[in-house]
Amino acid sequence: MKKLLILVTCEESQAVTKAFRALGHEAYSNDIIECSGGHPEWHLQMDALKALKFKKWDLIIAFPPCTYLTISANKWYKDQPARKSGALVGEARRQARRDAIKFFMEFVNADCEHIAIENPIGIMSTEYRKPNQVVQPWMFGHGETKATCFWLKGLPNLKPTDVVDGRYQRMHLLSKTDDRATLRSKTYEGIADAMSKQWSDYLCNL
């Protein structure tokens, strides 16, 4: 079997990295913070843009931060004043969104033939293009809802592996704790397994 060299960037949980490693591929997670997945030897703790050029990757999977890209974030920009009590409130948020869009596009334009970029439903559908597909956890064995978009380059759409009952919004209903964002960003095991199996099979058979 061909051994793929894979970068999973903006991933500290290592959920996707470990799924590819389980299949024998050389996958590395990447984030500016330490990993929580238990395998620091597979983790590139560095800026994502440096990681893109760290090796000649066969596959890049990116999970850019969605804070300023989601539809729900629009409330922060609508009719925001440029200043509030002397602070650049509205303009600072608008600049943060511009920076987030630019960061997303760095992955789109990365020097790699096979790229997957994950994000919730948000403004990149208009700022860039519509995603190739939108998946739900219940398509992959988890009875929950959390619409997840994939923008793909040189990869096939994921096929559902285990459609189950249940439409529970567990992630949406999580308490507002310090680790809420981290919990919400972790990839479901069923989706991670589908990504690793389906995309590695596709690339190994090219």
Q: Which domains does the chain have, with CATH numbers?
A: 5-67+107-204 (3.40.50.150)
Mean pLDDT of 135-140: 96
Q: How far apart are CA 100 and CA 119, in angstroms?
A: 12
Query: What confidence tens digit (pLDDT) does each residue in 35-48 have?
Result: 999 999 999 999 99
pLDDT for the residue 67: 84
Q: Is the pLDDT of residue 106 over 70?
A: yes
For residues 168 and 11, the model is more confident at 11
Mean pLDDT of 72-91: 55
pLDDT band at 24, cuts 50/70/90? very high
Query: What confidence tens digit (pLDDT) does each residue in 43-67 have?
Result: 999 999 999 999 999 999 999 998 8
Mean pLDDT of 21-37: 97
Q: Is the pLDDT of residue 89 over 80?
A: no
Q: E strands, the chain, where? A: 5-9, 26-31, 43-45, 59-62, 115-119, 133-135, 148-153
* Nearest Cα to Cα of residue 50 among 98, 21, 10, 92: 10
Query: What confidence tens digit (pLDDT) does each residue in 152-175 have?
Result: 999 999 999 999 997 777 655 444
Determine what percent of the chain is predicted with pLDDT higher than 90.
74
Across the chain, mean pLDDT equals 87
Q: How far apart are CA 39 and CA 191, in angstroms?
A: 20
Mean pLDDT of 89-107: 87
pLDDT for the residue 87: 53
Q: Is the pLDDT of residue 77 over 60?
A: no
pLDDT band at 12, cuts 50/70/90? very high
Residues ≥6 apart with Cβ < 8 Å to 98: none
